[in-house]
Amino acid sequence: MEAIQPPRDAEVVIGVVLMTFLVMLLGALSESPVWLLGLLVFLPGAASALCTLRQTKFVFAWTALVVIVIMLVRHGDGRPWSDRILMVLLTLALGTVSVYTCHRRLHREHEMLRLRSTAAAMQRHILRPLPLLTDDVLVDGVYEPVQEDRLVGGDIYDVVVSPWGTRVLIGDVQGKGLPAVGAAFAVIGAFRANAHREPTLTALVDTLDASVVRHNSYAAQTGDDERFVTALIINVDAHEEAQVINCGHVAPQLLHDADITTPAPDSGVPLGLADLAVEPATVGWFSFPPGATLLLSTDGLTETRSADGSFYPLAERLAERVSLSPTDLPRDLYNDARAFAGAGDQHDDVAILSVRRTP
């Protein structure tokens, strides 16, 4: 919810005066001047939806003054005083309600803005602002939760500089929106706590899996659903080859010299389901030369559907954008996917990262 930008004081004064003049002019030309005068009674109500509290009070006072003066001036039109008193009381009652309504609206807007500011501060601590530059890579991207009034959803990412290189995480919690946030917190917290402690990616993935298991145990106690998390963890150091573990996540795309390849490490089970795996997670290696860009995404991008039900052709659209900079590529892909989906709403959180290998 965004706060309504109120009009300037001069605009309010001019608008009220013009409306009063118009009503009085029509009243002079009409056979029902009192009925037309009743239109002024609703001016404070309109002001309460758009104006500040002070402006609404001014409109109320102006309207009450005009109505009272006109009722007194037209005392000889034959109408009983009871009708005049009723009109004045109606004006005062509606004006009072309008001022109260304006006060409640402004209070609600203030609370919503305060909560949104708090959520934005929380997001900065949970999901690091992009771009991020380390000695090994430049990471940029776009993050769009499915619920526009939420700044954090079920897709996650993080970047940690460790003694063994830069470690990048992208993940997707089962489900979406606020119900998935708890598991997202658990994985990000474990990643930050252990990425600079565990010397191997396999040990790091074990700690991430354990964090999801602990979260699910707590969720079961509180009656919430248990969840798993697909994730892709990459380690980039000074060597030309990078390490990757895929825990049931969307495969990365490597762009280099106008070529697009898909590093295809063995895909293991998602985090939280390690007990179901036949074999433990294994590390894959792939060439990641200087100047190359690795595109990471969640299924919010790859599973975007058009009106006819077809999936977003990521490989095809990526081939058309190999010349884009790593900074522009994620946002351009996101905008293209939204256009591909047409007028429909976004149905899942979307995270797209570009990881550029620094020379």
Q: Dump pLDDT digits (tens) for 176-197.
A: 656 678 888 899 999 999 999 9
Would you kindly state where each structural domain of the chain is located, as residue ranges? 9-121, 127-357
- pLDDT category, 41, cuts 50, 70, 90? confident
- CA 224 – CA 293 distance, rounded (Å): 39
pTM, whole model, 2 decimals?
0.70
pLDDT score of 123: 61
- pLDDT category, 100, cuts 50, 70, 90? very high
pLDDT score of 155: 87
Backbone dihedral angles phi then psi of residue 266, each to the nearest 5 degrees = -60, 130
Residue 223 corresponds to which amino acid? G
Q: What's the chain's average pLDDT?
A: 85
Look up residue 137 and give its two tokens.
């890579």
User: Do 142 and 350 meet the contact criterion of CB atoms below 8 Å apart?
Assistant: yes
pLDDT score of 1: 46
Q: Dump pLDDT digits (tens) for 296-308.
A: 999 889 888 888 8
CB neighbours (10 Å) of residue 114? 10
For residues 73-85, one letter each, b for 16 or more C-beta atoms within 10 angstroms of the residue's C-beta and e for the rest, the string is: eeeeeeeeeeebe
pLDDT score of 149: 46
Q: What angle do CA 255, 258, 261 make, to 5 degrees?
A: 40
Question: Which residues are paired to 139 by β-bridges?
Answer: 132, 355
Mean pLDDT of 142-147: 77
- pLDDT category, 138, cuts 50, 70, 90? very high
CATH 3.30.365.10 at 127-357, yes or no: no
Closest CA to 44 of 90, 99, 3, 87: 99
Q: Where are the alpha helices (DSSP H) in the chain?
A: 9-29, 33-37, 43-50, 53-73, 81-126, 181-194, 201-222, 299-302, 314-319, 329-341
Question: How far is residue 154 CA from its own chain's centroid?
Answer: 12
Reply yes or no on whether the pLDDT at 145 is more than 80: no
Q: Which of 36-45, 146-155, 180-189 has the highest mean pLDDT?
A: 180-189
DSSP 280-300: ----EEEE--TT-EEEEE-HH
Mean pLDDT of 1-6: 65
For residues 153-190, one letter each, b for 16 or more C-beta atoms within 10 angstroms of the residue's C-beta and e for the rest, the string is: bbbbbbbbebebbbbbbbbbbbbbeebbbbbbbbbbeb
Q: Dump pLDDT digits (tens) for 218-241.
A: 888 888 888 999 999 999 999 999
Reply yes or no on whether the pLDDT at 252 is more than 90: yes
More confident residue, 28 or 342: 342
Provide the sign of the torsion angle of the four alpha carbons 275, 276, 278, 283, taken in this order.
negative
